[in-house]
Amino acid sequence: MKTFKIQLLLALFCAAGLTACFADESKRMSVSVTTYNLLSRRFEHKSPWDARKQKVGEIIRQENHDPDILGCEESQDEIQMNDMIAMLSPDYAYREMGIEASPRIIFWRKSRFEAVESDNIDLLSVYPEYAPDEYATSRYANFVRLREKSSGHELLVYLVHVKSGGKRSNEYQLLRRQCIQSLCRVAKAKSDSLGGMPVIAMGDLNNYAKTVINGVPSAPMTFVENGFADTFDSAAERLNAGYKTYSPQSCIDEGTATPADVNDRLDYIFVYPPKCAEVQRWAAIINFLPGSDIRVEKPIPSDHHPVNARLVLNY
C-alpha cells in the first residue's frame, strides 16, 4: 500500500509538472519579424525595380527567412507597393498607410494573425518647430496591433524610416532623435495601457548603433535610453553580424557584401518591455555565392539587407 501511495504521488507530481509546462507554453508566442528597406523604385539609377523585384520576393520567402511579420521601408511608390502586395498576398495580409510615407506597408501571415487596430503616427506633431508638411515621407510611423488567432495573444508593431539626408546626414541627427523619442512615448503609453503588451519597433534608423553627433545620441541609442532592447544585443545567435546592413552603390554594382564592425548597422528591431522577449536569432539575410563570404547573388534585391529577429514573446 505504501509503495502504491508513493507511485500515486509521483504520478500526480509529474502530471502537475506537465500541466505547468503546458500552462507556461500557453503564455509564450514565437514570432519571426523582419524589417526590409526595399530601395524605392524611384531610384532607377541605383538598380531598376523591374530587374530585381522577383529577387525581393524570393529572399523574403526563402527557407532561412520567411517572416511572420514584415515591415517595408521605401515602399511609398504605389506601383512598387502594389507589386509587393501581388507577390505576397497569397500568404500575407497587409496594412498600408494611404499616404506617401516611406514605411507605408506592413505585412503579416494571414493564416496566423489578424489586425485589431491600426493608425498613422505623426512623430513630429509635438514639435512646433516643424511645419505639418515637413519631412512628409519619413515623419510618420506605421502602426498595427495584431492578434494571433489561435492563442488570442496580441502585440503592437511600429515601423519607421527616419531621415537620412545623404551627405547632409549630420544635420538631421536631432530630427532622428526627436522622431524616436516620440515613437517611444507613444508605444510605451500604448503598451502600458494594455497591461504591458509586447511592442516591436523596427525600421531604417539611418544611424549606426553608437553614433553621437554634436553631442546628440543616435536614434538606436534613443530607443535604448527609453527602455527598449535592441534584438541584436539580446540575441542568442547572430547570423552575418559582421556585415553592414546597407550596401553602397559600389557593392550593388560589384555584387558584394560589406564587412564592417558590429555597430555599423542602419536597420534595427527593438522590443519593449525588454523582459517580454527572448531573442533566439538575429540575422542579416545575405545570399552569398557558394564558397564566398563576400560575393552575393545578383541582381542584389536592394541596397539594404533584410534584418530578421526570431523572438519568443512572454505573456
What pLDDT, in 10s, does the model give residues 24-35? 678 999 999 999
Average pLDDT over the chain, rounded to whole?
A: 92
What mean pLDDT is predicted for residues 192-198? 97
Residue at grid coordinates 508638411 = 133
**Contact yes or no for 56/301 (Cβ under 8 A):** yes
Is the pLDDT at 5 greater than 70? The verdict is no
Is the pLDDT at 185 greater than 50? The verdict is yes
What pLDDT, on the 0 to 100 scale, is given for residue 180? 98
What pLDDT, on the 0 to 100 scale, is given for residue 26? 86
What pLDDT, on the 0 to 100 scale, is given for residue 207? 96
- Fold classified for 29-314: Deoxyribonuclease I; Chain A (3.60.10)
CA dihedral sign of residues 180, 186, 189, 190: negative
Is the pLDDT at 126 greater than 50? The verdict is yes
What pLDDT, on the 0 to 100 scale, is given for residue 233? 97
What pLDDT, on the 0 to 100 scale, is given for residue 16? 44
Is the pLDDT at 18 greater than 60? The verdict is no
What pLDDT, on the 0 to 100 scale, is given for residue 45? 84
What mean pLDDT is predicted for residues 164-188? 95
Is the pLDDT at 22 greater than 50? The verdict is no
What pLDDT, on the 0 to 100 scale, is given for residue 8? 45
pTM of the model: 0.92
What mean pLDDT is predicted for residues 125-137? 95
What mean pLDDT is predicted for residues 119-140? 96
Residue ranges covered by each domain of the chain: 29-314
What pLDDT, on the 0 to 100 scale, is given for residue 24? 66
In the 3-class helix/strand/coil scheme, how is the chain assigned residue by residue? Answer: CHHHHHHHHHHHHHHHHHHHHHHHHCCEEEEEEEEEECCCCCCCCCCCHHHHHHHHHHHHHCCCCCCCEEEEECCCCHHHHHHHHHHHCCCEEEEECCCCCCCCEEEEECCCEEEEEEEEEECCCCCCCCCCCCCCCCCEEEEEEEEECCCCCEEEEEEEECCCCHHHHHHHHHHHHHHHHHHHHHHHHHHHHCCCCCEEEEEECCCCCCCEECCEECHHHHHHHCCCEEHHHHCCCEECCCECCECCHHHHHHCECCECCCCCCCEEEEEECHHHEEEEEEEECCCECCCCCCEECCCCCCCECCEEEEEEEEC
